[in-house]
Amino acid sequence: MVLSLLTAVLLALFLLFITLPVVSLFLRISPEAFLSSLTEPVVLDALSLSFVTATVSTVIVVLFGTPLALVNARHDYRGRELVDTLTDLPIVLPPAVAGLALLMAFGRRGVIGQYLDIFGIHIGFTTIAVILAQVFVASPFYIRQARASFETVDRLYEDAARTLGASRMTVALRITIPLAWGGLVSGAILSFARALGEFGATIMFAGNFQGRTQTMPLAIYTTMQGDMNAAISLSIILVVISFAVISAVKIVTRRKY
């Protein structure tokens, strides 16, 4: 009795702690001010840039991550653990480290950047830098999920298809991927959400320029210094998206294939 009461109090306090700040965002702005700030160029530019870059990043992550996850789920080879650890690394790395690492590699005097510089290719301060930062930090979310879903696919189906003469490619495309579909989609959604929220690595590596590298989180940080309404509006949009993402993942993963 006392224990359950204590649990209830702890739960209530914790829920309040999480909910109150989020709700406060909604209370600090009138619906009119919210709607009018949605038409401001800084907000519109940030919204479209964020959606374009996060979508491109997610596509890149899926294209590169799916074969990698499939190989690591199905084949045991020397160094598999190392590959797994490396692909997981960006989850634990602070974004500041990711930003600095990207600068050291692709910056104008970076390990790769200095050679690109010879050809007049500059990645820093461009939308490409934003995408690189997002791919770097968001890829583990997809790859982990994809590998786990591939592992739950029963090998019987794949073997049956192989004995019936299907090529490896056909098996992957017609059997394994469709059976792992729910996990792949939820992984891609999580990866998209992480890319959308990326801040630290972006501001360090890509800089902050409206319409070119200023994504939603950077625009929130910037407008906070002057136009608080724009900052709150962008935050509300991100809260709504995050909520939708978590719900979508829950729905997708609940469904059985």
Residues lying near other proteins in the complex (CB under 8 A) are found at: 2, 5-6, 9-10, 13, 103, 107-109, 122, 124-125, 203-204, 207-210, 213-214, 221-223, 225-227
Decide whether 8 or 246 has the Cβ nearer to other proteins. 8
CB of 60 to other proteins, least distance (A): 23
- Torsion sign, CA atoms 222, 226, 230, 231: positive
Decide whether 9 or 35 has the Cβ nearer to other proteins. 9
Decide whether 219 or 237 has the Cβ nearer to other proteins. 219
CB of 235 to other proteins, least distance (A): 16
Q: Which string of DSSP letters, residue by residue, matches the chain?
A: -HHHHHHHHHHHHHHHHHHHHHHHHHHTS-HHHHHHHTTSHHHHHHHHHHHHHHHHHHHHHHHHHHHHHHHHHH---TTHHHHHHHHHHHHHS-HHHHHHHHHHHHSTTSTTHHHHHHTT---TTSHHHHHHHHHHHHHHHHHHHHHHHHHHS-HHHHHHHHHTT--HHHHIIIIIHHHTHHHHHHHHHHHHHHHHH--HHHHHHT---TTTT--HHHHHHHHTTT-HHHHHHHHHHHHHHHHHHHHHHHHHHHS--
CB of 134 to other proteins, least distance (A): 17
Q: At what angle do helices 181-197 and 41-74 cross, to 10 degrees?
A: 140
CB of 198 to other proteins, least distance (A): 16
Decide whether 103 or 245 has the Cβ nearer to other proteins. 103
Token code pair at residue 161: 């298809």
CB of 171 to other proteins, least distance (A): 47
CB of 210 to other proteins, least distance (A): 7
Contact 198, 215 (CB under 8 A): yes
Decide whether 100 or 148 has the Cβ nearer to other proteins. 100
CB of 100 to other proteins, least distance (A): 9
Whole-angstrom distance, CA of residue 131 vs CA of residue 77: 31
